[in-house]
A and B are shown apart, each in its own frame.
Chain A
Amino acid sequence: MRILLSFLALTILWTSCADDDMMIEMPTEPGDLSAIEYNPTPYELPQPVGFPAMTIPADNPMTQEGFELGRRLFYDVRLSSDDSKSCASCHLPELGFADGQAFSQGVEGEFTARSSMSLVNIGYNEFGLFWDGRVQTLEEQALLPVPDAIELINTWENVENMMRADEQYPTMFRKAFGIDDSAEIDSILATKAIAQFERALISHNSKYDKILQNDFSVEFTDAEQRGFDMFFDLGNEPGGSGVPDAECFHCHGTPLTTTGQFFNNGLDRFPTLADYEDKGFGAVTGDTIHNGQFKAVTLRNIELTAPYMHDGRFQTLEEVIDHYSEGVKFASNLDVNLREPLHLTDSEKADLVAFLKTLTDEEFTTDPRFQNPF
């Protein structure tokens, strides 16, 4: 009987040795990952027409394995203290990676101070992340929501323990970053992976893009064309349609539909710049000339990311355009292009909205690569 069992055991071992992957992935000690193959595949980002080449940090190159790990972490509710929320809770693909709320609710029901920002084309950001630019890199940014007292209210120590004990994460970290032991899994690697996933969120297949790319199967409607001319101040060029300048492109220039910089767009009036309740960029720089300035967001997929502004005060694109047309309030650091009321007609406003909706990219929002893997 003992001989029979030994033979059976040898047969099983022999059979399992025949499967190289199985053999390689057998850890020799708890936490030891060194037997798992580490051969990351470069992740090729698209290079859309007109887009600048994205800057990728030298210490966090894009790999397929890093992207997949980042996607899983992005959607993992175990990053929160009560397993109820993940990054994706405030950044849903179908809403342009925003959440449709003026303020986002954290795990205990508290609300964030500002509206969730879209992550569309976030890898191209240059001048600081968040509405106030307080963080420079996606890796740094991804560290913040986990311990945030309103958002995920967790500790990275808890999350690290969860990732190390998980069935899949140790192998994924090994394949993404070449670590030898699951004890090496930490917040730094986790946020690198999340940053890789976020850099891949490139929207470049809207109707507007296709027209820019000379896809002759697509063309603007008359209303969209007029809106385009208003947006880019082309109406008064020779042969232009004569529509007025809506002054949009100063802050929302091509190709990203944002300069990424900070502006006071006349939302509120205070006696002096020092009186702003939410100082925005000024709270980061410490310079009052920046008080009340907030980041100009991308307008790609803007149709999906209502409500608008840092505090979600406008529910619709029509309300936003009404603001820029007649509602701008003076401040000494108001962007100069917004000072004069536009006095757009209802028809002109509708044209502008029609153009803005050509920036919606359903191929992006429904891309299976960006959806929840759980």
Chain B
Amino acid sequence: MKNLFFLFCALFLIGFTSCEPDAVVDENRTANVEVNFKTEYAGTPLIMFADETYPESSMTMRVKKTEFFITDLVLLQDGSSDETELSEVELLKFSDFSSEEAAARGTARAYENIPVGTYSGVRMGIGVNPDLNRATTGEYGQGDPLGQNFWDGWSSYIFAKFEGDIDVDSNGNFDDEDDLSFALHTGSNEAFRTVTLNMPIVVSADENNIISIAFDLQKLFISPNGEVYDIIESPSSHTTGDLDAIIELSDNFANAFSVR
């Protein structure tokens, strides 16, 4: 009977302990965090100028430029509205990743003095948030992410650029008469999206803290309900007349991220 009593107490204590919040962040201890951004195509590293197959077609595609802004990158805490800001704005460029090694490596950003603890995920804005998008490049210095990629016609930053060529009949030539290039640019507040990626993230004082965020370009061309973007019909998006295409791409874009 006495043993049963101790067992009950032990189970009670275990149960009590496990009821404590998972997301415990110690503001008094900090560590460095590296976020590694990668681009993929159908789950494998996206190599610039390499042949890929356009979704649900036999067309061959070569991507030549991929770059985009993210804003308000934060770590989230489970069961709390508290969040830890990693970065206000980043302009991520992948256009020089012409080898498998470079593509697999991605581009990293380092953030210092991040409170240690367990976080429940990350959230980020895809594009330039409306507050920052009120500014112009003149308000920033050279080298600042917001000192470039401004879209005068829209009074907006260009949130993202995806460019490349399509070999429509996949004969190996990209300059046949029916082949085309695409220049899919997004921008304006209507194109801003917020993405939340849930996954336990432990920031430890003693270890290298690396978070990998992957963007799968194939999903840019496929909507969450499976519709494929008509790149033959809309190979470029540059003007307000292209807003429908920009909205479609922005919705797809927000669905293309994952965290590891």
Contact = CB atoms under 8 A, between A and B. Distances in A.
Contacts of B142: 52-55, 124, 126
Contacts of B236: 337
Contacts of A42: none
Contact of B138 (A233, A255, A330): A255
A300 to B, nearest CB: 15
Interface residues of A, number: 33
A311 B74 CA distance: 49
Contacts of A236: 239-241
A233 B144 contact: no
Interface of B: 48-49, 62, 64-65, 96, 98, 136-138, 140-144, 147-148, 150, 152-153, 163-165, 174-175, 180-183, 236, 238-241
22 contacts: A52-B138, A52-B141, A52-B144, A52-B147, A55-B141, A55-B142, A233-B238, A234-B153, A245-B239, A249-B153, A254-B137, A254-B150, A255-B138, A259-B148, A285-B96, A289-B96, A332-B49, A333-B49, A336-B165, A336-B183, A337-B181, A337-B236
A233 B96 contact: no
Tell me which of B48, B180, B239 has the highest count of chain A C-beta atoms within 10 A of its own C-beta: B239
Given A245-B239, A336-B64, 18 more contacts: A52-B138, A52-B144, A53-B141, A53-B142, A54-B142, A55-B142, A126-B143, A232-B153, A234-B152, A236-B241, A289-B64, A330-B175, A334-B181, A336-B65, A336-B163, A336-B165, A336-B182, A340-B181
Contact of B152 (A51, A249, A332, A339): A249
Contacts of B98: 287, 289
B174 A50 contact: no
Contacts of B163: 336
A147 interface: no
Interface string A14-50: 0000000000000000000000000000000000011
A237 B138 CA distance: 24
A259 B137 CA distance: 12
B180 A50 contact: no
Given A289-B48, A289-B49, A53 B140 contact: yes
Contacts, number: 84
Contacts of B137: 50, 52, 254-255
B153 A51 contact: no
Interface in A315-354: 330, 332-334, 336-337, 339-340
Contacts of A49: 138
Interface in A120-146: 124, 126
A50 B147 CA distance: 10
Interface string A243-258: 0010001100111000
A336 B147 contact: no
A109 interface: no
A285 B138 CA distance: 30
B89 to A, nearest CB: 15
B153 A339 contact: no
B180 A333 contact: no
Given A55-B141, A55-B142, A254-B152, A245 B238 contact: yes
Given A253-B150, A289-B98, A336 B138 contact: no
A249 B138 CA distance: 17
Interface in A94-141: 124, 126
Nearest to A339: B181
Contacts of A234: 152-153
Interface string A285-300: 1010100000000000
B97 to A, nearest CB: 10
B96 A51 contact: no
B195 to A, nearest CB: 27
A128 to B, nearest CB: 13
B239 A337 contact: no
A339 B163 CA distance: 12
A290 B167 CA distance: 21
A238 interface: yes
B239 A233 contact: yes
A103 B130 CA distance: 47
A333 B64 contact: yes
A127 to B, nearest CB: 10
Nearest to A250: B183
A237 B144 CA distance: 29
B161 to A, nearest CB: 9
Contacts of A238: 240
A332 B147 contact: no
A126 B152 CA distance: 20
Interface string A52-80: 11110000000000000000000000000
B235 to A, nearest CB: 9
